[in-house]
């Protein structure tokens, strides 16, 4: 009798099994069974963006500290993460043989599983201090001017930055690009030098047309400049190249010259002010407070060599309809992997995002084993995210991992959502366009921390070692 019942049960189950096979019912995805993936970088370099075992959400309670992620509370939309593609960076990458270069560019810029998905680049308008020589796009013999910009050309950039950008755009056509000048042509300046000095007021209009020509020239090569800043580090005239520009001067230039020139030429490129340290939020606030400059300004940009990252929120709170950008922070040859990882992830990535920035950029993407090229008087200790030596060996430096912990998982269009800092665990959370939740955590303490990640009334428990960085995705 028992055997007859068993046969009957099997006969009854067969149609259901057939329906399952026909409908293609398969193993549930990671998200639907309540698991989170995680990647960790350790301060001792024993793990670098290394995938860990999946973590399982459950309903058990414990006494651990808890990071609760709340997707219903939304903040800014992310435009991207990345680096500055300096002239030196482009030269370093272009020295690679074709196969190695193509593989590296796919790793950096594609959406492939093994890639880190960089989505934002900053480039210099003319030379930065990480070019091998100083130049502008309209250099003239001493004592001569070019008021009609008849000699304007992209110069050395046509040999490195432009061709490499074309290759990058072929991989990621949506990548955002910001341009920033270190100095205008020296004939426009009051000291006739690439270093320091100020833009002479009677050249304001010519310089505005210089920006127009730049954006149009890049577009002719298929390169769309999404945003510009009028001057990199306007309060630091000691670099080579560099220029001093006060907030009042920048406001005047924008409202009377640059903004109207863009409008006349029907240029949609955003004008982003300041582009300097967090210790002077009054600089962008002065420009934004000018009612005639304000309509031309899309937002404000910051670096963090001085000041506190909370300055970004101060400017955002005063003008909440204007975007905040974080555009530069270097890692130096004299500091350790451990200290740079902790500080930069905490401040540059997590800190900028928790203070309303729509992007987070580190400084140079690549250089050689001697931190070259750099201009005479330029930065000789700036460590690129990649070190590419004379034998074409590629070393991924700490800067690579600082940005990759966000860029790999948080694409353009992601929205920052609420999460609470707890103890030494600094963090920021996002919801991606595909609906994934991403949580980036840095343990800023001196001991391992065990904690919960709580989401929709369920939680996972995990431990993060001192100084380590983790990205969790579910």
Q: Give residue-wise pLDDT tens across range 389-409.
A: 999 999 999 999 999 999 999
Q: What angle do CA 61, 62, 68 make, to 5 degrees?
A: 75
* Statement: residue 16 has pLDDT above 60: no
CATH number at residue 447: 2.60.40.1180
Say whether both 219 and 300 belong to one domain.
yes
**How are beta strands 176-181 and 120-125 bridged, if at all?**
parallel
**pTM of structure:** 0.93
Say whether both 280 and 427 belong to one domain.
no
Q: What pLDDT is attached to residue 23?
A: 34
- The two tokens of residue 451 are 């904690």
Q: What is the pLDDT of residues 405-450, one digit of tens each?
A: 999 999 999 999 999 999 999 999 999 999 999 999 999 999 999 9
CA distance 353 to 171: 26
Q: Is residue 339 part of a domain?
A: yes
Say whether both 384 and 250 belong to one domain.
yes
Say whether both 171 and 143 belong to one domain.
yes
Say whether both 150 and 41 belong to one domain.
no
Instruction: Report the number of secondary-structure helices (H) and strands (E) in the chain.
Output: 12, 23
Say whether both 109 and 132 belong to one domain.
yes
Say whether both 98 and 164 belong to one domain.
yes
Return phi, psi of residue 440, to 5°.
-105, 125
Q: What pLDDT is attached to residue 4?
A: 39
Say whether both 287 and 338 belong to one domain.
yes
Q: What is the pLDDT of residues 361-390, one digit of tens each?
A: 999 999 999 999 999 999 999 999 999 999
CA distance 251 to 291: 10
Terminal Cα distance for the chain, rounded: 49
* Statement: residue 20 has pLDDT above 80: no
Q: How confident is the model at residue 13 (pLDDT cuts 50, 70, 90)?
A: very low
What average pLDDT is seen over the chain? 94
Q: What pLDDT is attached to residue 11?
A: 39
Task: Please return the burial class of 69, using the count of CB atoms within 10 Å of its CB with bins 0-12, 13-18 and 19+.
Answer: buried
Say whether both 231 and 281 belong to one domain.
yes
Residue 276: strand, helix, or coil? strand
Q: What pLDDT is attached to residue 2?
A: 39
Q: What is the pLDDT of residues 114-161, one digit of tens each?
A: 999 999 999 999 999 999 999 999 999 999 999 999 999 999 999 999
Residue where a domain stops, chosen among 360, 394, 412: 412
Q: What pLDDT is attached to residue 30?
A: 43
Q: What is the pLDDT of residues 97-116, one digit of tens each?
A: 999 999 999 999 999 999 99
The answer to whether the CB of 453 falls within 8 A of the CB of 418 is no
Q: Considering only residues 32 and 225, tell me which one the structure prediction assigns the higher pLDDT.
A: 225
Say whether both 389 and 427 belong to one domain.
no
Cβ count within 10 A of residue 54? 14
Q: How confident is the model at residue 29 (pLDDT cuts 50, 70, 90)?
A: very low
Q: What pLDDT is attached to residue 350?
A: 99
CA distance 57 to 4: 42
Task: Please return the burial class of 81, using the count of CB atoms within 10 Å of its CB with bins 0-12, 13-18 and 19+.
Answer: buried
Say whether both 434 and 368 belong to one domain.
no
- Residue 449 β-bridge partners: 464
Q: What is the pLDDT of residues 169-194, one digit of tens each?
A: 999 999 999 999 999 999 999 999 99
Mean pLDDT across the stretch 206-218? Answer: 99
Percentage with pLDDT > 70 across the chain = 93
Residue where a domain stops, chosen among 363, 388, 412: 412
Q: What pLDDT is attached to residue 412?
A: 98
The answer to whether the CB of 431 falls within 8 A of the CB of 69 is no
DSSP structural state of residue 27: P
DSSP structural state of residue 437: E
Residue where a domain stops, chosen among 361, 395, 412: 412
Q: Is residue 3 part of a domain?
A: no
CA distance 457 to 210: 56
Dihedral angle of Cα 76, 80, 81, 86, to the nearest 10 degrees: -130
Q: Domains in the chain: how many in total?
A: 2
Write down the residue that tokens 């250089």 correspond to: 367
Q: Is residue 376 part of a domain?
A: yes
Say whether both 242 and 373 belong to one domain.
yes
| Full residue range of the structural domain in which residue 89 is found | 80-412
Region of residue 335 (phi > 0: left; psi between -120 and 50: alpha; otherwise: beta): beta
Q: What pLDDT is attached to residue 392?
A: 97
The answer to whether the CB of 437 falls within 8 A of the CB of 429 is yes
Return phi, psi of residue 276, to 5°.
-150, -165
* Statement: residue 324 has pLDDT above 60: yes
């Amino acid at each position: 009798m028992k055997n007859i019942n068993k046969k009957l049960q099997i006969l009854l189950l067969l149609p259901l099994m057939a329906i399952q096979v026909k409908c293609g019912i398969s193993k549930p995805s990671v998200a639907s069974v309540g698991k989170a993936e995680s990647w960790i970088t350790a301060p001792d370099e024993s793990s670098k963006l290394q995938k860990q075992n999946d973590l399982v959400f459950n309903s058990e309670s414990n006494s651990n500290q808890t990071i609760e992620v709340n997707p219903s509370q939304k903040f800014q939309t992310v435009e991207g993460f990345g680096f500055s593609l300096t002239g030196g960076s482009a030269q370093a990458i272009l020295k690679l043989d074709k196969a190695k270069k193509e593989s590296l560019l796919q790793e950096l810029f594609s959406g492939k599983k093994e890639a880190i998905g960089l989505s934002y680049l900053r480039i210099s308008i003319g030379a930065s201090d990480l070019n091998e020589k100083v130049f502008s796009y309209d250099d003239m013999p001493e004592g001569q001017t070019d008021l009609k910009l008849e000699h304007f050309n992209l110069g050395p950039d046509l040999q490195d930055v432009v061709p490499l950008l074309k290759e990058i755009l072929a991989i990621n056509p949506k990548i955002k690009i910001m341009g920033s000048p270190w100095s205008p042509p020296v004939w426009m300046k009051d000291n006739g030098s690439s270093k320091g000095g100020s833009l002479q007021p009677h050249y304001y209009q010519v310089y505005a047309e210089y920006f127009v020509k730049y954006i149009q020239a890049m577009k002719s090569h298929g390169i769309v400049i999404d945003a510009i800043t009028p001057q990199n580090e306007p309060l630091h005239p000691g670099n080579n190249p560099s220029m001093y520009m006060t907030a009042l001067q920048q406001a005047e230039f924008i409202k009377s010259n640059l903004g109207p020139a863009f409008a006349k030429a029907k240029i949609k490129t955003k004008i982003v002010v300041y582009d300097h340290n967090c210790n002077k939020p009054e600089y962008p606030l002065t420009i934004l407070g000018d009612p005639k400059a304000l309509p031309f300004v899309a937002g404000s940009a910051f670096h963090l060599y001085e000041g506190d990252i909370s300055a970004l929120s101060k400017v955002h709170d005063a003008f909440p309809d204007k975007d905040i950008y974080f555009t530069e922070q270097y890692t130096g040859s004299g500091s350790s992997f451990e200290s740079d990882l902790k500080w930069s992830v905490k401040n540059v990535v997590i800190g900028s995002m928790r203070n309303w920035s729509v992007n987070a950029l580190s400084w140079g993407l690549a250089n050689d084993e001697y931190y070259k090229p750099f201009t005479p008087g330029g930065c000789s200790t700036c460590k690129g995210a990649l070190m590419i030596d004379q034998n074409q060996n590629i070393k991924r430096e700490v800067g690579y991992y600082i940005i990759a912990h966000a860029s790999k998982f948080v694409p353009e269009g992601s929205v920052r959502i609420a999460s609470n800092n707890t103890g030494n665990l600094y963090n920021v959370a996002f919801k991606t366009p595909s609906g994934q939740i991403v949580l980036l955590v840095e343990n800023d303490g001196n001991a391992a921390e065990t904690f919960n990640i709580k989401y929709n009334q369920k939680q996972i428990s995990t431990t993060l070692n001192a100084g380590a960085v983790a990205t969790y995705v579910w």
